[in-house]
């Protein structure tokens, strides 16, 4: 769940908050989960809706503080993880450039490992629409990352 939260929020602290918020909402609404259905799909849908609500709320207010992680890394030698960090940043930038619908489809299927059917259910779209978004998202990522 945290990986999906991170792909939505693009920030570790926000991903942790979103994961916690999702679990709290799921526990409060546990009577709405239908036995025999996939719990993870239900949780991903709650998380996606919670993220949409969070984005809307943030659009109304501006953020004026830096993430806590930026202050925690002051004074550390960045060289050991610089190369890995640069590559991860490059992939994140490529993901960030994708339209939201493609980014979320790629995150659910390629990062979270959901099946096409599960991802389509989570996003409440037809499987063909998911497939189209996924193909366009993969193609755009490969082009941005210099793949063939």
Residue 119 class from Cβ within 10 Å (0-12 exposed, 13-18 middle, 19+ buried)? buried
Structure tokens at 30: 């546990």
Which phi-psi region, left, alpha or beta, contains residue 61 (left: φ > 0; alpha: ψ -120 to 50)?
beta
- Segment 112-135 shows an average pLDDT of 92
pLDDT higher than threshold 90 for residue 72: no
Largest CA distance in the chain: 51
Q: What is the pLDDT of residue 69?
A: 72
Q: What is the pLDDT of residue 63?
A: 52
CATH 1.10.1740.10 segments of the chain: 1-73
Q: Thinking of the domain 82-148, which architecture would CATH place it in? A: Orthogonal Bundle (1.10)
Q: What is the pLDDT of residue 82?
A: 79
Structure tokens at 75: 């004074």
Which tops the pLDDT comparison, 78 or 58?
58
Q: What is the pLDDT of residue 31?
A: 84
| Third-level CATH fold of 1-73 | Rna Polymerase Sigma Factor; Chain: A (1.10.1740)
pLDDT higher than threshold 80 for residue 148: no
Q: What is the pLDDT of residue 102?
A: 93
- Segment 74-103 shows an average pLDDT of 82
Contacts of the segment 90-99: beta carbons below 8 A, 24+ positions apart: 90/145, 91/145, 92/10, 93/144, 94/140, 94/141, 94/144, 94/145, 95/7, 95/10, 95/141, 96/10, 97/140, 97/144, 98/137, 98/140, 98/141
CATH 1.10.10.10 segments of the chain: 82-148
Q: What is the pLDDT of residue 106?
A: 92
Q: What is the pLDDT of residue 130?
A: 94
pLDDT, the chain, mean: 84
């Amino acid at each position: 769940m945290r990986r999906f939260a991170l792909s939505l929020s693009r920030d570790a602290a926000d991903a942790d908050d979103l994961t916690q918020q999702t679990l709290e909402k799921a526990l409060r609404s546990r009577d709405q989960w239908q036995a025999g259905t996939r719990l993870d799909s239900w949780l991903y849908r709650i998380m996606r809706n919670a993220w949409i609500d969070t984005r809307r709320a943030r659009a109304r207010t501006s953020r004026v503080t830096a993430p806590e992680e930026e202050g925690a890394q002051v004074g550390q030698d960045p060289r050991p993880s610089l190369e890995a960090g640069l590559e991860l940043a490059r992939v994140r930038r490529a993901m960030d450039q994708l339209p939201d619908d493609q980014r979320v489809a790629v995150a659910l299927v390629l990062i979270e490992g959901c099946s096409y059917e599960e991802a389509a259910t989570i996003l409440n779209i037809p499987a063909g629409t998911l497939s189209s978004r996924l193909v366009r998202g993969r193609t755009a990522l490969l082009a941005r990352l210099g793949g063939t």
